[in-house]
A and B are shown apart, each in its own frame.
Chain A
Amino acid sequence: MESLISNFASPVVLAFTLGIAAKLLKSDLEIPKPLYQGLSIYLLLAIGLKGGVELSKTSLNAFIGPAFITLLLGVLTPLIAYAILRYLGRMDMINSSAIAAHYGSVSAVTFIAAISYVESLGYSPEGFMPTLVALLEVPGIIVALIIPQLSNSGNGSFKKALHEVVTGSSIILLLGGLIIGFVAGPVKFESVQPFFVSGFQGALVLFLLELGMVTARRLSDLKKVGVFLLGFGILVPILHGVLAIWLGLMVGLSVAGATVLAAMVSSGSYIAAPAAVRIALPKANPSYYLTASLGITFPFNITIGIPIYYLIATWMGV
């Protein structure tokens, strides 16, 4: 309980709430689009860089297990999500795989929030976690988009969508950052440390202020999407999170690492996935997939979800 309240009182989560409040009060506050894009670029590159530097200090042995289960989860979670949507929720194939693509992918901000959360509790998760983000970003989207392909009902361009995902800015920045950090190593990284590490949490505050405003605009769609998707957006992340914790602990991740993995796996992308889905499945309804991943799962995860994953991980980790 305490760990939950502690999460609510973090500047980052409070900034998210401020963003929601600003929109509900109809304030004219606006984060200029280029600033927002600049913050995204900065945050993704920073995650990559830090991850790369850490990776350069990690032995392959410690990394191989977590890497394997991350890929496994990248394949499993969209299938689970698809099955639930299609057979439990009786959604059509197109919309089911569109939503599944989102839950197969990962929200970088949720990842960052999870890292910050466990660090604020005094833990330090494994250094290669950002590498796992990059590993998780792509396969889930692909798996989900293949489904309608099989029955030839995608109607968009799968190949173009694939290119979009693989060369999308999030992957370029994450992977590019990883490589730069890995090649540069800890010593050469020092000169850019103040910019990319010390400034990180503060930049995140501004970013979540904007994300709060974006989410608030989504809230009015909640009614449209119905109670099934609301439940889906909360329960499926928990399901995926528990799966991630279980597998994570099994391959030797620390409690903190398993918590962060759970947050990653449970989260749904709202940058890479929407663009890919828009191209591959243009007929899918954005109200469904954006509202689920951005309007429901994202706020759930960064406020209540992450502390829950932590509690479960502590409990399972004994």
Chain B
Amino acid sequence: MARLVAADVPDGAYVNLGIGIPELVAQFVPDGREVIFQTENGLLGMGPAPVLGTEDPELINAGKKAVTAISGAAYFHHADSFAMIRGGHIDICVLGAMQVSAEGDLANWSTGEADAIPAVGGAMDLVAGVKKIFILTEHTTKAGEPKIVACCTYPLTGKAVVDRIYTNLAIIDVTAEGLAVREVAPGVSFAEVQEKTGAKLTDERQIPKTSGVNKDL
């Protein structure tokens, strides 16, 4: 999945990767493309994990893991970092999801349970400010419940913010007309994707897959 996302990131894009699975996208940037990764804790030009033993506890990513800085990187403070995010300067943000709705609402920060410790971090800033929001997630929960739903039941991270969803079963665009399946995984049928989805899908596999996404970045 991370490889499919990476294939849709154009040369020269500025990209923020959410904590967890989305971080894997950095490993799959196709040869010949230069993509600049931002981490909201204050670094543009984040490089791969450091060689074991050379970690610097003061050079970390938003997931608080040790990283490196590429040549041409820049450090900045938090207000400048979020000015970058909230001012619409980042091209793509790849995030995980608990639920995504047919309208592109995203829930990925809280189960809303009474005794949960609420913790939001930068998720609401990213979905409000970044030009394109890509979701990278398993198609269903571990219990088999759909994550793509008509209406989110968990507290929202943002309303109508998601542009595209990459799952283990399909690539789905959030369009003004609803959820449009652009691609399905090998051996998976459109019917199966629909069955495991809590919202109506349309089959738009004939449209070339990169059509609507990259051209206006």
Chain B associates with chain A: no
List B residues at the A interface (Cβ < 8 Å): none
Residues of A participating in the B interface, judged by any CB pair closer than 8 Å:
none
